[in-house]
Structure 1
Amino acid sequence: MTTMQNPAGGIPQVTAQTVTGAGVPAVTPATPAVRRSEPYMRLQWNDSATGAIGYLVVHTLRSGLATGGTRMRAGCTLSEVEDLARGMANKTATFDLPVGGAKGGIDFDPKDPRAVEVLERFCEAMRPWLDRHWVTAEDLGVPQHLIDEVFGRLGLGQSFHAAIGRSDDPAATLARVRAGLKAEVEGGFELGDVIGGYGVAHSCLAAAVSWGQVPSETTVAIQGVGTMGGSAAYYLHEAGMKVTTVADAAGTLYSADGLDVPALLALRDGYGEIDRSRLPDGVEQLPRAAILSADADILVPAAISYAITPDNSYDVRARVVVEAANAATTPEAEAMLAARGIPVLPDFVANAGAVAWAWWLLLGQVDDAPDTSFDRLRTVMHTKVAQLMAAWTEEGVTPRETGHRWADEPAPTVSPVVIP
């Protein structure tokens, strides 16, 4: 194990094949959720079998816990994982969840036939944290069912293991979590797969309401039709919004009259790409980059981080950007958009429905009844987005700045986490 001071000093960076939980208490009182400039901890793992590199960044630790998904993509970097972990810390603080923020990332192609083995070795290396302190879940390149299968083989049950193990009745909590994740909803989906996209959809709806526009007169462009983007598109379509443009890795699809979203989603493969050989009539195929310049009221980047940069920000024609992907807009690009009068609803609000719901489920505040979860998330999202948009239109304060102010407020919960 090698320990290095980070450039700012004070917080050690640890590089290791395996890690220990030494020095991290099992249960500590929840401290105020104040944003940190530097992560609590960085870990790097090197896979000798494939050359893959994995990272765990814990940005904040509250009650001895941090939460955040694990992603896999070729080219994933430590700085990317740090940004994502910081975003998770903002999400948990903004939604007053009694847990800190973290993120895992693996630099490896998820389509490689060895990808599952790499994920399993990464989780085994991070086991001390996964066992007691890090609650992880799906992310780009890693679907929830896959990470749960890996946890099962490692004897950890399910990816929420670190929190479930603290409950008074772990077996009952695990049963509640599994029932909630697998609850069937309209459209043939499972609640755990669509709840995040449902929250994004209602972020979009709340933004339209803020400028007095009805859903049927609002157009949307969505970059990415995987778990998050696909479910957001589905619920926007169900709400009556006109989804005119969607994009996946193969390109952009467009219809001025609105796409048949359910039909397109039915053509997806396991990687969230739409089969072009079976497209409905009237769908125009455009280059992948065309999604950013789509003539739509709302742009939803729901695929990759850093999708909107200074180089392409001037292509954006939307009235508002709603970040469904984590860190979808670089800070420089966001400033350029704001200067043009285009606000960005930040990821740590717009796409936080999945993590907020997961913790409501863990804490027993919702169960496997989808309507209960949908009602609560819809109410929370509309309230928060209305406040973000009001600060933007009335005071010129960007939504991210308002969200950061929320995250910096002292958390009212100061007792240890109690999971029933």
Structure 2
Amino acid sequence: MGPAGEQTLHAVPPAGGAGPRDTEPLLRLTWTDPVTGTHGYLVVHSLISGLATGGTRMRAGATMSEVEDLARGMAAKTAVFDLPVGGAKGGIDFDPKDPRAVGVLERFCQAMRPWLDDHWVTAEDLGVPQHLIDEVFARIGLGQSYHAAIRRSADPEQTLRRVRAGLDTPVPGGLLGDVIGGYGVAQACLAAAGSWGWPLPDTTVAVQGIGTMGGGAAWYLHEAGMRVVAVADAAGTLYRPEGLDIPALLDLRDSYGEVDRSRLPADVQQLPRAAVIAMQVDVLVPAAISYAITPDNSYDVAARVVVEAANNATTPEAEDMLSARGIPVIPDFVANAGAAAWAWWLLLGQVGTDPEDSFRRLRTEMRTKVAMLLDRWSTAWVPPRQTAWGLGVDRHTAQVGEAAVEDLIIP
């Protein structure tokens, strides 16, 4: 199909009356890179006001079914947090450490331009940091990855300035746009501790993955007074039973979220990568890859609650097995939805550049939702995921396809 590469399009009409977990996606699209031959995927699960939101990830081995699951999760996130958009996701089957990766990402975005221009608001995800996708958008003439929403505003330049100012606001731990998702995950963990009356200094946490999301969660949990005893990156698990010095540890990361072992304190134990799943802790935060907890390793989980920071971190079968053992799972479309929710609050002018406004709103909404999920778990043994589907999903589903493109006003 020309220099942008080959595309295969599969449009599927949405089923009426079912929630995001039950419906077929609106669109599945497969792209073939003309240079490397790799495949990229776009799945639009649903459109509301002609828009869908969801990040773009890059990893070797990415599949259409994975991207479809992620798009379905995005539709659930937008429903739970009452955002006026549908859900989508992009994925590229390529190693982000390969020197050709930026070129692959740029060609993928160029090929997806009809959707990125009008309908799909994307952002960072696994293997694709926000600054990189914004650089690519600028090179192809779309300005910034929120372009499809920004172009609808009365003053796109002013809206773009507001978005960039919000993303680049310095806060403890980094830039607001980089840490807000991890902050939301931390608030989900803190809500769990609060629901069960756990004293924070005695509450232990293990975090699998310390990139943008996991690193942010670990930083804010440490700041709140929880004891983060283990973190894992691609090279292994780092463990200190008294608690790790998280700020110092994060300073040792490279651009891929891996810690320089040569500079570790002597009292930090180095364990195999898989050891983090089996840590005897109160809270396990899988923040690295999808499908990290499976039926094969779910019985190794010794935590009292699992808080999903990675998308689809737990397979459905593994989650059922954990629930049967009395271990609730706070689902990703609640726990890690903070970045997506905040981006739309920023786009819609509901929060500004004062970070405390953003932190306060996300803290309030996340803690309220997680407390509700765990109350249902504690009193009626209802899995948190089941309760979460009821938080606006049915009402949100009724909006799919009904609102005109012009109905969403971006100030």
Are 1:120 and 2:111 an aligned pair? Answer: no
Alpha-carbon separation, structure 2, partners of 1:419 and 1:123: 23
Q: Give the alignment of 1:51-66 within 5 angstroms.
A: 51-66=37-52
Match of 2:138 in 1: 152
Match of 1:360 in 2: 345
Q: Give the alignment of 1:89-128 within 5 angstroms.
A: 89-128=75-114
Match of 1:233 in 2: 218
Report the 3-state secondary structure (helix = DSSP H, G, I; strand = E; otherwise coil) of the residue aligned with 1:55: strand
Contact map agreement 2:184 2:338 (CA 8 A) in 1: yes
Contact map agreement 1:32 1:410 (CA 8 A) in 2: no
Match of 1:48 in 2: 34
Contact map agreement 2:59 2:95 (CA 8 A) in 1: yes
Match of 2:116 in 1: 130
Match of 2:175 in 1: 190
The Cα of 1:407 is off from its aligned counterpart by: 4.2
Match of 2:6 in 1: 17
Residue 57 of structure 1 aligns with an amino acid whose one-letter code is V
Residue 227 of structure 2 aligns with an amino acid whose one-letter code is K
The Cα of 1:409 is off from its aligned counterpart by: 2.8
Choose from 46, 61, 70 the match for 1:84: 70
| CA deviation map 1:175-202 (0-9, x unaligned) | 0000000000013x10000000000000
Alpha-carbon separation, structure 2, partners of 1:171 and 1:181: 15
Alpha-carbon separation, structure 1, partners of 2:351 and 2:6: 38
Are 1:199 and 2:184 an aligned pair? Answer: yes
Consecutive unaligned residues of structure 1, counting only runs of 5 or more, are 2-15, 25-30
Contact map agreement 2:7 2:29 (CA 8 A) in 1: no
Choose from 196, 213, 216 the match for 2:198: 213
Alpha-carbon separation, structure 2, partners of 1:182 and 1:127: 25
Report the 3-state secondary structure (helix = DSSP H, G, I; strand = E; otherwise coil) of the residue aligned with 1:292: helix
Report the 3-state secondary structure (helix = DSSP H, G, I; strand = E; otherwise coil) of the residue aligned with 1:247: strand
Contact map agreement 2:8 2:30 (CA 8 A) in 1: no
Contact map agreement 2:7 2:32 (CA 8 A) in 1: no
Are 1:419 and 2:410 an aligned pair? Answer: yes
Alpha-carbon separation, structure 2, partners of 1:164 and 1:339: 45
Residue 104 of structure 1 aligns with an amino acid whose one-letter code is G
Alpha-carbon separation, structure 2, partners of 1:246 and 1:152: 35
| CA deviation map 1:275-309 (0-9, x unaligned) | 00000231000000000000110000000000000
The Cα of 1:368 is off from its aligned counterpart by: 1.1
Q: Give the alignment of 1:234-383 within 5 angstroms.
A: 234-383=219-368
Residue 101 of structure 1 aligns with an amino acid whose one-letter code is G
Report the 3-state secondary structure (helix = DSSP H, G, I; strand = E; otherwise coil) of the residue aligned with 2:364: helix
TM-score under structure 1 length normalisation: 0.92
Residue 207 of structure 1 aligns with an amino acid whose one-letter code is A
Moved more, 142-151 or 277-286: 277-286
> For residues 231 and 385 of structure 1, do their structure 2 counterparts lie closer, same or farther at Cα, with a shift above 3 Å needed?
same
Contact map agreement 1:292 1:299 (CA 8 A) in 2: yes
Are 1:143 and 2:146 an aligned pair? Answer: no
The Cα of 1:405 is off from its aligned counterpart by: 1.6
Report the 3-state secondary structure (helix = DSSP H, G, I; strand = E; otherwise coil) of the residue aligned with 1:361: helix
The Cα of 1:37 is off from its aligned counterpart by: 2.0
Choose from 358, 366, 372 the match for 1:387: 372
Moved more, 222-231 or 272-281: 272-281
Alpha-carbon separation, structure 2, partners of 1:358 and 1:304: 22
- Over the aligned positions, Cα root-mean-square deviation in angstroms equals 1.9
Alpha-carbon separation, structure 2, partners of 1:260 and 1:129: 44
Report the 3-state secondary structure (helix = DSSP H, G, I; strand = E; otherwise coil) of the residue aligned with 1:410: helix
Residue 271 of structure 1 aligns with an amino acid whose one-letter code is Y
Residue 349 of structure 1 aligns with an amino acid whose one-letter code is V
The Cα of 1:410 is off from its aligned counterpart by: 1.1
Alpha-carbon separation, structure 2, partners of 1:280 and 1:347: 33
Choose from 158, 176, 184 the match for 1:172: 158
Report the 3-state secondary structure (helix = DSSP H, G, I; strand = E; otherwise coil) of the residue aligned with 1:244: strand
Contact map agreement 2:221 2:228 (CA 8 A) in 1: yes
Match of 1:397 in 2: 382
Alpha-carbon separation, structure 2, partners of 1:237 and 1:387: 24
TM-score under structure 2 length normalisation: 0.94
Report the 3-state secondary structure (helix = DSSP H, G, I; strand = E; otherwise coil) of the residue aligned with 1:326: coil
Alpha-carbon separation, structure 1, partners of 2:60 and 2:301: 27
Residue 17 of structure 1 aligns with an amino acid whose one-letter code is E
The Cα of 1:85 is off from its aligned counterpart by: 0.3
Contact map agreement 1:33 1:93 (CA 8 A) in 2: no
Contact map agreement 1:89 1:102 (CA 8 A) in 2: yes
Alpha-carbon separation, structure 1, partners of 2:209 and 2:384: 23
Report the 3-state secondary structure (helix = DSSP H, G, I; strand = E; otherwise coil) of the residue aligned with 1:236: helix
Sequence identity percentage: 71
Alignment coverage as a number of residue pairs: 398
The Cα of 1:19 is off from its aligned counterpart by: 8.3
Residue 60 of structure 2 aligns with an amino acid whose one-letter code is A
Alpha-carbon separation, structure 1, partners of 2:278 and 2:62: 26
Alpha-carbon separation, structure 1, partners of 2:18 and 2:295: 31
Contact map agreement 1:39 1:58 (CA 8 A) in 2: yes
